Amino acid sequence: LTKDDVLVYTVATEETDGYLRYMDSAKEFGIKPNILGFGQEWKGGKEIRTKPGGGWKINLLKEALQKHKDESDKVVLFTDAYDVIFSNNLDEILKNFKATGAKVLFGAEPFCWPNPELAPMYPEVKDGKRFLNSGLYMGYVPELLKLLYRKSIGDDEDDQLYFTEAYLDETFRESIKMKLDHTSTLFQNLNGATSEIEIYVNESKDKKIPEKYVVKNYFTHTEPMVIHGNGFSKLTLNYLGNYVPNMWNSLEGCIKCKERTLNLANQPVKAMPLVYMAIFIEVNTPFLEEGLQKVYNLDYPKERMHLFIHNAAKYHTSLVKNFTEKYASEYLSFKQILAEDGTPEWTARDLSLDQSTAKNVDWYFSLDSIVHLDNPQTLRLLIEQNRSVVAPLLVRSGKAWSNFWGALTKDGFYARSKDYLEIVYNKKRGLWNVPFITNAYLVRASIIKRYDRSILTYNKPDTDPDMAFCRTFRELNIFLYVSNRVDFGHLINADNFDVTLAEPEMYQIFDNEMDWEARYIHEDYQNNFAPGRVDKQPCPDVYWFPIVSLRFCNSLISMMESYGKWSAGTSYDERLEGGYEAVPTRDIHMNQVGWEPHWLKFLQKYVRPLQEKVFLGYNHDPPRTSGGNFVVRYRPDDQPFLKPHHDSSTYTINIALNQVGVDYEGGGCRFIRYNCSVVDTVPGWVIMHPGQLTHWHEGLYVTKGARYIMISFVDP
């Protein structure tokens, strides 16, 4: 007997994700399965198999075997399709089959199903699983035909019960040498055995040859060759199927993800797929302005995109209004639900699904407000990936928090898969079949069209909308992929966003460091460290750097003015530790607006490196201050100047916050020993100078308007 004597059969009515995976695995080993029932209505009971069924599979096989009924030396391998993968070739499968001595061999499992009362009638087994599973079996044609024709079975009767009864008939069992593969030498049913299974990595010694991934049963010490993810273990099969057979390796990345893709590169605009893009602003979200701008910046023709926005956050009303007034007309259509409508999230989401169907689009693209698509190619790439559902991997910067779950607990909550962190940190890049995705995803619109809101809905009792949605996809056996083939973007952390503050994003330096930096740090800041850069030195040992953005300057002024309690400018100052300031300014301290910790972080991250660059050998990390962090306001009618003084600092930073000649006239800082003044200050640029001894200084007279500066006395 050779592999050519093995006839492989399966039943599949349509090309589901599971079917494609099954076929991919078959192709990997040159296996050519005969597909029974393809294109027909499923007759084996409920589509979502919670009830018994599957007699149809037996009847289809009987019919198919008619033409082989006299080929007594042929062997039939029957497997389910949607929840099965091959993990070895037919030669090996045949070898292991023969080694069992069976004429008909079934896979085994630890559950007696669908009739648990039959359990005591099963022969006891010392090792392995005791009960029959009908998802995987193999047998010689004559013996198998005897089994299939032992009785008749209705299409919607249960196939597993049928085979179980035959097996429990001892005389019959012996007569056809029917056995169960108790220890999974060949067939691995995962249900009830997931903890025994792990992927084993076969490293190759030659670094140019990729490693191989093998499914191992660590309980029975076998390498099973056909894997069946029945019941809840479907998710385990999805996990194994990310690697086996030959789906991914560290040299080539994901291998099958390059197949069945689309290429939009040379598509004329008119032929581009239609997209329904739905944006959900369900929470107050820092940096939403930038987030929306990145959506607008997506490299995809807007005349092929419908835009839908649900804004549930009143705080964002004017931002959304600005965005839509500016851009909405560029899209094919625009629909919005305002915060004032009070529409619940799930209703809005369901409505957007219906709308996408009404618009007859090709793809449905859902985005939450915390999503930042930094890669403008995201939508294009996701469409080109051409899967039922695919999410771009998005991670909170520097954190392990992402928009997918690698595994699930039995009750449907988060569990960490073995490869979760490797995926999140892009140690492994690819296209991953996972149980839960959220925040941003693309769905093939034909799926939404096919299942109405009684099945495909965000509204399930006691379930979060996204969990309800993903659960439905899992039940429908539609794969949820997350892709990190390239970088797509990141997630905003909206957990501690206090919109009662003036300029709330200014307080986000800890929660959303990257976004904070993008908005508030000067665009030339990094150039301060460019090799060969000559630092500006307007006066001896006074250095001058671009450090914060204009937006920062305006925001800081606005924070202070909306707080409004400027100090009296007298020497006694209850805000200070010693209570006394020799040369007082009219100012507001950072701690008065709750911004001291944020400012200290800023000093450490952005100021200290500049200081270490120009004042060599002085390395104090973190920089300290004793409350000497404040914004000064000079006004002719108020405090117009500051008399000569030393600062209680090792070095002082002095950031101009507004524009001389525009916002005010006069002003500047004069270093008396050198008779040198910095008057042409630039908003967002910092002046850094030693605090004492050599750098006795004064604040020059402001003749008009208001001059704002930010001062820090570092290391007093």
Ligand X SMILES: O=C(O)CCC(=O)C(=O)O
Question: Which partner, Fe ion, ligand X, none, binds residue 378 by CB below 5 to 8 Å per kind?
Answer: none
Pick out residues in 655-714 that bind ligand X (CB under 6 A): 669, 697, 699, 709, 711
- Residue 107 and residue 225 in contact, taking contact as beta carbons nearer than 8 Å: no
CA distance 479 to 387: 8
Q: Which amino acid is at 547?
A: I
Q: How many residues bind Fe ion (CB under 5 A)?
A: 1
Which residue from 647, 690, 710, 715 is in contact with Fe ion, where contact means CB under 5 A?
A: 647
Question: Which partner, Fe ion, ligand X, none, binds residue 227 by CB below 5 to 8 Å per kind?
Answer: none
Helix (H, G, I), strand (E, B) or coil at 341: helix
DSSP 571-619: SB-TTSSSSB-SS--SEEEGGGGT-HHHHHHHIIIIIHHHHHHHSTT--
- Residue 702 and residue 635 in contact, taking contact as beta carbons nearer than 8 Å: yes
Question: Which partner, ligand X, Fe ion, none, binds residue 585 by CB below 5 to 8 Å per kind?
Answer: ligand X
Question: Which partner, Fe ion, ligand X, none, binds residue 145 by CB below 5 to 8 Å per kind?
Answer: none
Question: Which partner, ligand X, Fe ion, none, binds residue 196 by CB below 5 to 8 Å per kind?
Answer: none
CA distance 588 to 575: 10
Closest contact distance (angstroms) between CB of 522 and ligand X is 19
Considering beta carbons, is residue 10 or 712 the nearer one to Fe ion? Answer: 712
Considering beta carbons, is residue 157 or 647 the nearer one to Fe ion? Answer: 647
Closest contact distance (angstroms) between CB of 699 and ligand X is 3
Pairing between β-strand 629-634 and β-strand 707-714 as defined by DSSP bridges: antiparallel
Q: How many residues bind ligand X (CB under 6 A)?
A: 10
Gap between the terminal Cα atoms of the chain: 88
Considering beta carbons, is residue 505 or 647 the nearer one to Fe ion? Answer: 647
Considering beta carbons, is residue 361 or 700 the nearer one to ligand X? Answer: 700
Helix (H, G, I), strand (E, B) or coil at 352: helix
Which one-letter DSSP state was computed for residue 13? Answer: S
Question: Which partner, Fe ion, ligand X, none, binds residue 470 by CB below 5 to 8 Å per kind?
Answer: none
654 touching ligand X, by CB under 6 A: yes
Considering beta carbons, is residue 358 or 679 the nearer one to ligand X? Answer: 679
Considering beta carbons, is residue 292 or 709 the nearer one to ligand X? Answer: 709
Q: How far is CA 547 from the centre of its chain?
A: 32
Question: Which partner, ligand X, Fe ion, none, binds residue 134 by CB below 5 to 8 Å per kind?
Answer: none
Pairing between β-strand 431-434 and β-strand 34-36 as defined by DSSP bridges: unpaired
* Rg of the Cα atoms in the chain: 34
Closest contact distance (angstroms) between CB of 274 and ligand X is 58
Closest contact distance (angstroms) between CB of 667 and ligand X is 7
- Residue 494 and residue 283 in contact, taking contact as beta carbons nearer than 8 Å: yes
Which residue from 388, 585, 625, 658 is in contact with ligand X, where contact means CB under 6 A?
A: 585
Question: Which partner, ligand X, Fe ion, none, binds residue 654 by CB below 5 to 8 Å per kind?
Answer: ligand X
Q: How far is CA 46 from the centre of its chain?
A: 33
Considering beta carbons, is residue 475 or 577 the nearer one to Fe ion? Answer: 577
Closest contact distance (angstroms) between CB of 689 and ligand X is 9
Question: Which partner, ligand X, Fe ion, none, binds residue 669 by CB below 5 to 8 Å per kind?
Answer: ligand X
Considering beta carbons, is residue 486 or 672 the nearer one to Fe ion? Answer: 672
Helix (H, G, I), strand (E, B) or coil at 60: helix
Closest CA to 129 of 183, 185, 197, 167: 183
CA distance 280 to 293: 15
CA distance 275 to 278: 10
Closest CA to 584 of 558, 597, 603, 566: 566
Beta bridge partners, 7, equal 76
Closest contact distance (angstroms) between CB of 631 and ligand X is 10
Question: Which partner, Fe ion, ligand X, none, binds residue 128 by CB below 5 to 8 Å per kind?
Answer: none
CA distance 58 to 155: 8
Closest CA to 371 of 304, 438, 464: 438
Mark out the alpha helices in 307-344 (DSSP H runs). Answer: 317-327
Considering beta carbons, is residue 61 or 700 the nearer one to ligand X? Answer: 700
Stretch that binds Fe ion, among 203-211, 494-502, 620-628, 645-653 (CB under 5 A): 645-653
x/- letters, 248..277, toward Fe ion (CB under 5 A):
------------------------------
Considering beta carbons, is residue 6 or 642 the nearer one to ligand X? Answer: 642
Considering beta carbons, is residue 491 or 657 the nearer one to Fe ion? Answer: 657
Beta bridge partners, 137, equal 78, 106
CA distance 348 to 366: 12
Question: Which partner, Fe ion, ligand X, none, binds residue 709 by CB below 5 to 8 Å per kind?
Answer: ligand X
| Cα angle 291, 292, 298; round to 5 | 95
Considering beta carbons, is residue 521 or 642 the nearer one to Fe ion? Answer: 642
x/- letters, 534..573, toward ligand X (CB under 6 A):
----------------------------------------
**3-class SS shares of the chain: helix, strand, coil, % to 5:** 30, 25, 45
Closest residue to ligand X, based on beta-carbon distance:
699
Question: Which partner, ligand X, Fe ion, none, binds residue 632 by CB below 5 to 8 Å per kind?
Answer: ligand X
Question: Which partner, Fe ion, ligand X, none, binds residue 483 by CB below 5 to 8 Å per kind?
Answer: none
Considering beta carbons, is residue 184 or 611 the nearer one to Fe ion? Answer: 611
Pick out residues in 535-564 that bind Fe ion (CB under 5 A): none
Considering beta carbons, is residue 12 or 655 the nearer one to ligand X? Answer: 655
Half-sphere exposure of 204 (CA within 13 A, CB side): 11
Cβ atoms < 10 Å from Cβ of 644: 12
Question: Which partner, ligand X, Fe ion, none, binds residue 548 by CB below 5 to 8 Å per kind?
Answer: none
Closest contact distance (angstroms) between CB of 587 and ligand X is 8
Considering beta carbons, is residue 154 or 716 the nearer one to Fe ion? Answer: 716
CA distance 56 to 155: 4
Closest contact distance (angstroms) between CB of 540 and Fe ion is 16
Long-range pairs for 64-71: beta carbons < 8 A, 24 or more residues apart: 64/9, 64/34, 64/36, 65/141, 65/144, 65/145, 65/148, 68/7, 68/141, 69/141, 69/145, 71/141
Pick out residues in 621-650 that bind ligand X (CB under 6 A): 632, 642, 647
Closest residue to Fe ion, based on beta-carbon distance:
647
Closest contact distance (angstroms) between CB of 561 and ligand X is 18
Closest CA to 307 of 370, 373, 360, 352: 352
Question: Which partner, ligand X, Fe ion, none, binds residue 699 by CB below 5 to 8 Å per kind?
Answer: ligand X
Question: Which partner, ligand X, Fe ion, none, binds residue 629 by CB below 5 to 8 Å per kind?
Answer: none
Residues 6+ apart with CB under 8 A from 305: 274, 275, 276, 277, 331, 332
Closest contact distance (angstroms) between CB of 525 and ligand X is 21
Considering beta carbons, is residue 659 or 692 the nearer one to Fe ion? Answer: 692
Which residues form the interface with ligand X (CB under 6 A)?
585, 632, 642, 647, 654, 669, 697, 699, 709, 711
Which residues form the interface with Fe ion (CB under 5 A)?
647
